[in-house]
């Protein structure tokens, strides 16, 4: 089923930031879309003659909720054929072809070690799904740190919700950090946060990285220099 193409219809569009919109999709022909938090769907968009050049994948930002509706967080990329089509042509009522759920970027079945969820931009989407799921379906787990880097406060996605989830999910901490704006929270890049949290070594920690290649490459290098094995690092690359 995951590799077959199906139809979805856009039911709601919300402008979340200057460059990011949230799209609610209803997946037609289903009463319940069953997926694991962190998985993605692939859309087939009419932007190229060759089919495989029309495919774009987006992490599901919502948690499984027993319905056939999901949310995608999509950013506009200058010069990007897919985002230009989605932002300019897709509206409420537009039908889209999709397949999924796909991917293995998901929570461990048992969270037996401290877990660091490190992201930039819309890379927060799969982590929002994961933390929502933990709030809805509590399970024993170690410390979970969600480290989310953006340029300014206006670029933060789901920030109020994630702050509220700190109160609902035990041992979960949300760490927003801004690179281009002075504010009362942390300033700089995501690397400064996980490095400061591990001044006392956590040799069994696990890391999940999601976002642009530059951030992921640097995080992998820094974690390797700190002695972490590649098996302890899981990544989902955007772009």
Tell me the CATH number at 42.
Answer: 2.40.30.10
Are 128 and 211 found together in one domain?
Answer: yes
Q: Given a cut of 90, is residue 199 above it in pLDDT?
A: no
Would you place residue 176 in the very low, low, confident or very high pLDDT band (cuts 50, 70, 90)? very high
Residue 145 placed within a domain:
yes
pLDDT, tens digit (0-9, with 9 covering 90-100), for 50-106: 888 899 999 999 999 999 999 999 999 999 999 999 999 999 999 999 999 999 999
Domain-terminating residue out of 71, 102, 133:
102
Helix runs in the chain, H state only: 81-89, 124-136, 159-168, 190-197, 213-225
Model pTM?
Answer: 0.95
Those residues whose C-beta lies under 8 Å from the C-beta of residue 194, and which sit 6 or more positions away, are: 116, 118, 145, 147, 207, 219
Are 39 and 147 found together in one domain?
Answer: no
Q: Domain of residue 186: give its range.
A: 115-238
Q: Which domain CATH number covers 165?
A: 3.40.50.80
Are 11 and 98 found together in one domain?
Answer: yes
CA quadruple 218, 114, 111, 163: dihedral positive or negative?
negative
Are 149 and 46 found together in one domain?
Answer: no
Residue 25 placed within a domain:
yes
* Predicted local confidence at residue 181, as pLDDT: 86
Are 27 and 57 found together in one domain?
Answer: yes
* Predicted local confidence at residue 200, as pLDDT: 83
pLDDT, tens digit (0-9, with 9 covering 90-100), for 24-51: 999 999 999 999 999 999 999 999 988 8
Would you place residue 115 in the very low, low, confident or very high pLDDT band (cuts 50, 70, 90)? very high
* Predicted local confidence at residue 2, as pLDDT: 67
Are 51 and 132 found together in one domain?
Answer: no
Q: Given a cut of 80, is residue 120 above it in pLDDT?
A: yes
Domain-terminating residue out of 102, 136, 157:
102
Encode 155-190: b = buried (16+ Cβ within 10 Å), e = exposed: bbbbeeebeebeeebeebebbbbbeeeeeeebeebb
Are 96 and 192 found together in one domain?
Answer: no
Are 227 and 126 found together in one domain?
Answer: yes
Are 169 and 230 found together in one domain?
Answer: yes
Q: Given a cut of 80, is residue 1 above it in pLDDT?
A: no
Please count the structural domains in the chain.
Answer: 2
Are 83 and 162 found together in one domain?
Answer: no
């Amino acid at each position: 089923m995951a590799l077959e193409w199906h139809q979805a219809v856009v039911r709601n569009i919300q402008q979340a930031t200057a460059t990011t919109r949230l799209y609610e999709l209803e997946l037609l022909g289903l009463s319940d879309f069953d997926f694991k938090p962190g998985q993605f769907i692939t859309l087939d968009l009419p932007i190229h003659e060759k089919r495989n050049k029309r495919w774009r994948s987006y992490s599901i930002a919502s948690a499984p909720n027993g319905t056939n509706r999901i949310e995608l967080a999509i950013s506009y990329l200058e010069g990007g054929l897919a985002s230009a089509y989605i932002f300019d042509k897709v509206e409420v009522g537009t039908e889209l072809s999709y397949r999924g759920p796909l991917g293995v970027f998901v929570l461990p079945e048992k969270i037996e070690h401290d877990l660091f969820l490190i992201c930039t931009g819309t890379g927060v989407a799969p982590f929002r799904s994961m933390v929502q799921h933990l709030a809805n379906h509590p399970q024993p787990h170690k410390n979970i740190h969600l480290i989310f880097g953006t340029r300014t406060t206006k670029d933060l996605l789901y920030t109020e919700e994630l702050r509220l989830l700190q109160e609902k999910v035990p041992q979960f901490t949300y760490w927003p950090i801004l690179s281009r704006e002075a504010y009362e929270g942390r300033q700089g890049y995501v690397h400064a946060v996980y490095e400061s949290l591990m001044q006392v070594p956590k040799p069994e920690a696990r890391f999940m990285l999601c976002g642009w290649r530059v951030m992921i490459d640097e995080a992998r290098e820094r974690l390797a220099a700190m002695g972490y094995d590649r098996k302890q690092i899981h990544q989902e690359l955007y772009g």
